[in-house]
Amino acid sequence: MDDKVKVRVGVLGANGKVGKAICEAVDAAADLELVASVDQGDDIAAFVNSGTEVVVDFTHPDVVMDNLKFLVENGIHAVVGTTGFDDARLATVTEWLDASQGTGVLIAPNFAIGAVLLMRFSEQAARFFDSVEVIELHHPNKADAPSGTAYRTAGLIAEARAKAGVGRSPDATTTELEGSRGADVDGVRVHSIRLAGLVAHQEVLLGTQGETLTIRHDSMDRTSFAPGVLLGVREISKRPGLTVGLDPLLDL
Ligand SMILES: NC(=O)C1=CN([C@@H]2O[C@H](COP(=O)(O)OP(=O)(O)OC[C@H]3O[C@@H](n4cnc5c(N)ncnc54)[C@H](OP(=O)(O)O)[C@@H]3O)[C@@H](O)[C@H]2O)C=CC1
Ligand SMILES: O=C(O)C1=N[C@H](C(=O)O)C[C@H](O)C1
């Protein structure tokens, strides 16, 4: 393929666990060119100097907003896997994008196709069951709890149940050791496991009279995030403004 038509891609967090997998995937893609890799201590201006068109960010919730501000101000599209986005952060990013000239930002809590489908299936199932709880299981080096995926899943479940007029899951607990019932995310209980040997896993447990349904997804390694990220890289320039989640890019 002619070099001129390759999308010029940069990676932020390039030495990290996911960043490394993304650099390899970009290198292996005939239509993409890795033109800048930035990690802790490097100068983010490298993206401007190298003419980067799209930056992929897998860094840390504490730094991702500064990164995004810089990218939007410089008209560079962004595909963001870093977690930590609540409604307030998303609103801030939208404000920045409103003032930009057609820059696109995709923020997705999980780029693995199976995890995207898990979120969709959970949303669809949520109104049919009295009870629903989420368990997310990750490697012990993860900084945030609950995971971005669990946070988003619980939000989607809560929204679907509210729309259908389904109340909170029944729970007679009156005495508890703090934390034993997990975190309350929009009225949905979310439990976080951190265990050596794991990568990224999630279960959504639903129950009603005489039956339960368990929906589970497992990322066995970090290459699972690459196809979704590359899809975002190829599509984001056609989607000015903020896109949340991979769903619209998959026609879901
Ligand atoms: N959406 C998705 O599909 C997925 C999202 N994630 C999320 O992505 C993020 C990263 O995960 P992971 O790769 O496991 O984490 P790692 O800690 O392995 O990698 C993060 C990398 O970013 C670097 N870094 C930190 N601050 C900066 C900065 N200001 N500029 C440039 N680089 C920086 C870190 O350097 P140092 O170590 O020196 O601080 C590190 O090399 C997390 O929020 C995680 O939850 C993870 C998997 C999938
Ligand atoms: O930190 C991780 O590893 C992951 N983070 C994302 C999250 O918080 O949901 C996505 C995936 O679960 C892996």
Q: Is 77 annotated as a binding residue?
A: no
Q: Is the peptide bond between 146 and the residue preceding it cis, with omega within 30 degrees of 0?
A: yes
Q: Which of 197, 57, 193 is nearest to 137 (CA)?
A: 193
% of the chain with per-residue pLDDT over 90:
98
147 lines ligand 2 (CB under 6 A): yes
Q: Beta partners for 215?
A: 204
Q: Is 155 annotated as a binding residue?
A: no
% of the chain with per-residue pLDDT over 70:
98
Tell me which residue has its CA closest to atom 28 in ligand 1: 40
pLDDT-based confidence at 5, cuts 50/70/90?
confident
Q: Which of 82, 116, 99 is nearest to 240 (CA)?
A: 99
Are 103 and 236 contacting, i.e. CB atoms less than 8 angstroms apart? no
Are 39 and 19 contacting, i.e. CB atoms less than 8 angstroms apart? yes
104 lines ligand 1 (CB under 6 A): no
Output the DSSP codes for 33-99: EEEEEE-TTS-TTHHHHTT-SEEEE-S-TTTHHHHHHHHHHTT-EEEE------HHHHHHHHHHHHT
Q: Is the pLDDT of residue 94 over 70?
A: yes
pTM of the model: 0.97
Tell me which residue has its CA closest to atom 17 in ligand 1: 16
Tokens for 96? Answer: 């920045």
Active site residues: 138, 142
Residues in the chain: 252
Average pLDDT over residues 108-118: 98
Q: Report how far ligand 1's centroid is from the alpha carbon of 59 (Å).
A: 3
Q: Select from 17, 142, 144 the residue to mutate for testing ligand 2; criterion: most ligand atoms less than 8 Å from CB.
A: 142
